[in-house]
C-alpha cells in the first residue's frame, strides 16, 4: 500500500510556486469556513444551519483538541526530523483541527445547502492536501479530522431541531434590532 503522507509531502521542495500555494492553502484557506458561516448568517432561512455549523465547528475542534491531549501522534516534521514549510507547534498532529472545523461546516450545510456543502468539501480536500504537503499532518490526521467534523455537523444540525421555536423567536428579536438572521429553518 502506498504511503499517501510521504507521497504527498515528497512533492514539496520541487517548485517554489507549488510550495507557496501550499503554504497559503495550509494556513489561510480554512477561512473559507468563516465565509460559509457569514453567508449562512446573511441567507434567509439559514439561521438553524448557521447555528448548527458554528456550534459544530467549536465542538469538533474541542473534541479534536481533547483527542490530541490523550492520544499523542508526533507531527511528520517531528517524527521524520525535517523543517516544515510553515511554522507549527510540535504538539499532537491527530486529528487535524483545520479539517474538523471544515468538516463540521460541511456536515451541517449538507442538510440544507448542498452546493455550499460541496464547495466546502472541495476546499477541505485542498486544505487537507496542503497540510500534508507542507509537512504538518499525516494523511490519517486530515481524514480523521474531516470525518469527526462531518459527524459533529450532522449531529448538531439534528439536535438544533428541538430549538427551532427558540431560533424563530431569536430571529424576530434580531429583526427588531435590525440584525435579521433569516426566518429560521
Domain boundaries, the chain: 23-75+92-172
Range of weakest confidence among 1-10, 110-119, 149-158, 174-183:
174-183
Ramachandran category for residue 74: left, alpha or beta (phi over 0 → left; psi -120 to 50 → alpha): beta
Cα separations (Å) of 29 from 4, 50, 126, 161, 169? Answer: 21, 19, 8, 30, 34
Rounded to the nearest 5 degrees, what angle is found at the Cα of 7, between the Cα atoms of 32 and 25? Answer: 15
**Do the Cβ atoms of 156 and 68 come closer than 8 Å?**
no
Confidence grade of residue 18 (pLDDT, cut at 50, 70, 90): very high
Confidence grade of residue 150 (pLDDT, cut at 50, 70, 90): very high
Helices then strands, counting H and E runs in the chain, come out as 9, 0
Q: What is the pTM of this model?
A: 0.84
E strands present in the chain: none
Would you state the pLDDT for residue 2? 52
Amino acid at each position: 500500500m502506498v504511503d499517501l503522507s510521504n507521497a504527498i509531502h515528497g512533492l514539496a521542495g520541487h517548485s517554489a510556486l507549488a510550495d507557496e500555494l501550499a503554504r497559503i492553502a495550509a494556513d489561510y484557506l480554512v477561512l473559507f469556513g468563516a465565509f460559509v458561516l457569514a453567508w449562512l448568517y446573511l441567507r434567509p432561512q439559514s439561521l438553524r444551519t448557521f447555528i448548527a455549523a458554528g456550534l459544530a465547528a467549536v465542538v469538533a475542534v474541542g473534541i479534536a483538541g481533547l483527542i490530541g491531549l490523550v492520544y499523542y501522534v508526533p507531527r511528520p516534521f517531528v517524527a521524520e526530523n525535517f523543517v516544515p514549510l510553515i511554522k507549527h507547534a510540535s504538539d499532537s498532529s491527530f486529528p487535524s483541527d483545520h479539517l474538523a472545523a471544515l468538516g463540521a461546516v460541511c456536515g451541517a450545510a449538507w442538510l440544507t445547502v448542498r452546493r455550499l456543502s460541496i464547495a466546502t468539501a472541495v476546499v477541505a480536500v485542498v486544505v487537507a492536501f496542503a497540510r500534508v504537503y507542507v509537512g504538518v499532518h499525516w494523511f490519517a490526521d486530515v481524514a480523521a479530522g474531516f470525518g469527526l467534523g462531518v459527524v459533529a455537523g450532522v449531529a448538531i444540525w439534528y439536535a438544533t431541531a428541538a430549538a427551532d421555536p427558540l431560533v424563530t423567536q431569536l430571529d424576530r428579536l434580531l429583526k427588531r434590532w435590525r440584525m435579521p438572521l433569516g426566518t429560521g429553518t
